[in-house]
Structure 1
């Protein structure tokens, strides 16, 4: 937990309509920790959970995942917690925001991420979420944060409305493609392009690859203000470097033609899911093909290679999140027997 918060005591008056209208008071203030009881109670009342589109997982497992992830996050000195309290001083919501050192170094200005925004799901959920977000925006300005991001389930309407009304812009919508290896899944696809695992000897060629290979549907690419900094290509190159060094990715594969890298794909693992959800989840993380060799089956073969690897690796689930407007990738991925199940929004905030 970070120290040095400016103590603020926000009072929000909310009019509840009904047979007997009444006024409710909500207080927002920073805290150092949240009790297990409050955390579990708020986690239990959520309507949407991470990975809730995966079959065969019960609600208690999702609660365990959230609890474990939040407990891990609040141990970091980069994370700040703000809580909402009702008139009886009962916790009715909280938000976790983290200052991102790596991103801040890349872009040259302070960046932050909102990891969790939970509230009691009742008639005032929107107001609680809105004012928690307002508090974090004020916190960001006090700490000279220039950029923040947050995701949302598309059907979490109170969350989406609260995010938008606090000046965040919808930057991307991603569709989740899932391969479930617990069901006896078997892919029959012949690899025809020269694809192989990348090694550290490929580092120079990989990180110096032309920027045109990077996906133009990336939320960072789509954000005009981030692109204007000129740092997005630098970020992608560091991302690839960390993947190849094993800091980020479990697997990195490249396609070479005429002694040139023309395609790459990386896979990561969410190591928190095995002990909480009871399943092992791997994800497609980065993928790119040079424009002059597209439509030659390279993308399809790279995804197929990752599918074969994930299944042999012992994963229960492989998922790939693809921008809703990336029609070729969505279509080709579906041809490899993925199941489309779930989506998420990404929102970005920039300081004025």
Structure 2
């Protein structure tokens, strides 16, 4: 049967929790990617158990489980996206996960999830899968989802020597200053074209640009990023990099990891090495803060960004696909 939450089926809440954690261990491609050997196995297990417990506690009827005699055969859940909904102009949500050991189970729990999200008034549903999950991708497409984005993820292990690496470039590179915020926001409003927001025909013209502008303003205010780096010349912002620290992994394991969230260079300044200089500055800064590894993602179509990260020592560690369905 498909249960809407713990206790609706034959298994106890404790058994469902253990089954959900086991499903994560068996099917998830790897939360920490190439940095897994940095994280103790006990910490990885604890993170999965805590995540499963949080899902069981917080998701309620938005969590759909397929029970089997000895545990959980599949799980799917969705969460509303309040921030996105306000900017899209209609209720939006995302699939948190779609995990199943059999294709028939995957499709059954997906159908139930779509029914419940539609009943809740959701009009726009986003899902992201690891590109190795072809069965999941086929199930989404067959259910009416369209692919709107593909992401390549690069990773780099940081060593202490990077903290003293020299960074040179054709502009002044450093942490952002308050008088640069409006220049950062303006650049963010026109720097992107390959992302899922711009690829989504359901969004009105201009929405994607405004999303990035507000995202960068939030980053400068400390809500969406822990570090904002800029490149500037003659008081003009030519580029920026934002970084987010993984506080949850550090809490569980004591290991510091970070993600480069957004990178942009002004069109007139491209080809001058500014993106490389900002990325190298970010790596030096993070090495000084004892960060052990950094991840960064870019769109499949953004070949220039992929080459930039590889030139800075990053290596490809994963890929994902983003889908969208209108309900």
| TM-score w.r.t. length of structure 1 | 0.81
**Which residue pairs with 1:16 in the alignment?**
none
* Counterpart mapping for 1:1-352 below 5 A: 27-31=1-5, 35=14, 36-46=17-27, 48-56=29-37, 57=39, 61-76=43-58, 80-86=62-68, 88=69, 90-119=71-100, 121=101, 125-181=102-158, 188=165, 190-192=167-169, 193-209=171-187, 211-213=189-191, 215-226=192-203, 228-276=204-252, 279-351=255-327
**Which residue pairs with 2:10 in the alignment?**
none
Instruction: Please report how far the alpha carbon of residue 304 of structure 1 lies from its aligned counterpart in structure 2 after TM superposition.
Output: 1.0
- From the superposition, tell whether residues 49 and 79 of structure 1 become closer, same or farther in structure 2 (CA, over 3 Å): farther
Instruction: Please report how far the alpha carbon of residue 285 of structure 1 lies from its aligned counterpart in structure 2 after TM superposition.
Output: 0.4
Instruction: Please report how far the alpha carbon of residue 38 of structure 1 lies from its aligned counterpart in structure 2 after TM superposition.
Output: 2.0
Instruction: Please report how far the alpha carbon of residue 182 of structure 1 lies from its aligned counterpart in structure 2 after TM superposition.
Output: 5.3
Q: Which 10-residue stretch deviates more, 235-244 or 257-266?
A: 257-266
- From the superposition, tell whether residues 77 and 127 of structure 1 become closer, same or farther in structure 2 (CA, over 3 Å): closer
Aligned partner of residue 54 in structure 1, secondary structure: helix
Runs of 4+ in 1 over 4 A off after TM superposition: 57-61, 73-79, 182-189
- From the superposition, tell whether residues 191 and 76 of structure 1 become closer, same or farther in structure 2 (CA, over 3 Å): farther
Counterparts of 1:53 and 1:170 in 2: how far apart (Å)? 26
Instruction: Please report how far the alpha carbon of residue 81 of structure 1 lies from its aligned counterpart in structure 2 after TM superposition.
Output: 0.8
- From the superposition, tell whether residues 278 and 166 of structure 1 become closer, same or farther in structure 2 (CA, over 3 Å): farther
Instruction: Please report how far the alpha carbon of residue 308 of structure 1 lies from its aligned counterpart in structure 2 after TM superposition.
Output: 1.0
Count of aligned pairs:
318
Kindly indicate whether the alpha-carbon contact (under 8 Å) linking 2:188 and 2:209 is maintained by their aligned counterparts in 1. no
- From the superposition, tell whether residues 309 and 334 of structure 1 become closer, same or farther in structure 2 (CA, over 3 Å): same
Aligned partner of residue 73 in structure 2, secondary structure: strand
Kindly indicate whether the alpha-carbon contact (under 8 Å) linking 1:101 and 1:111 is maintained by their aligned counterparts in 2. yes
* CA deviation string 1:37-92 (max 9, x = no partner): 22222223225222233351566544432332343455547982111134x59532
Unaligned ranges ≥5, structure 1: 1-26
Unaligned ranges ≥5, structure 2: 8-12
- From the superposition, tell whether residues 225 and 74 of structure 1 become closer, same or farther in structure 2 (CA, over 3 Å): same
Aligned partner of residue 30 in structure 2, secondary structure: coil
| TM-score w.r.t. length of structure 2 | 0.87
